[in-house]
Amino acid sequence: LEHEVAVVEAERNRIARELHDTVLQSFVSVVPTLSMLAAAVTERGDQERARDSIRQLESSLAEARKTIRGLRSPVFRNRSLVA
C-alpha cells in the first residue's frame, strides 16, 4: 500500500510540475501582450473587452494555481515545483 501511495503522489507531483511548466507559463506570457493590446485600442468598448479578457485570464490562472497546489503532495507544498 505504501508503494502505491508513493506512486500516486509521484504522478500527482509530475502532473503539477508539467502543468506549471507548460500550460500556466504559456498563459502567463499572454497577459502582457493583452495588456499592450488593450492600451493600444482606441475604441472604449474594445478596451473594456480586452481588460475583461485579462481579468478572466488572471482569474483562471489563480484557479489553475490553486488546483496545482491541491495536486502536490503535502511534503512539497511549501517548496518549489522543481523535483
pLDDT tens figures, 9-67: 889 999 999 999 999 999 999 999 989 988 899 898 998 999 999 999 999 999 999 99
Task: Please report the pLDDT score of residue 83 as a whole number.
Answer: 47
Q: Could you tell me the sign of the dihedral formed by the alpha carbons of 24, 26, 29, 30, in that order?
A: negative
What torsion do the CA atoms of 80, 83, 74, 25 make, to the nearest 10 degrees?
A: 50
Q: Is 48 left (phi over 0), alpha (psi -120 to 50) or beta?
A: alpha
Q: How far, rounded to the nearest angstrom, does the alpha carbon of residue 70 sit from its chain's CA centroid?
A: 13
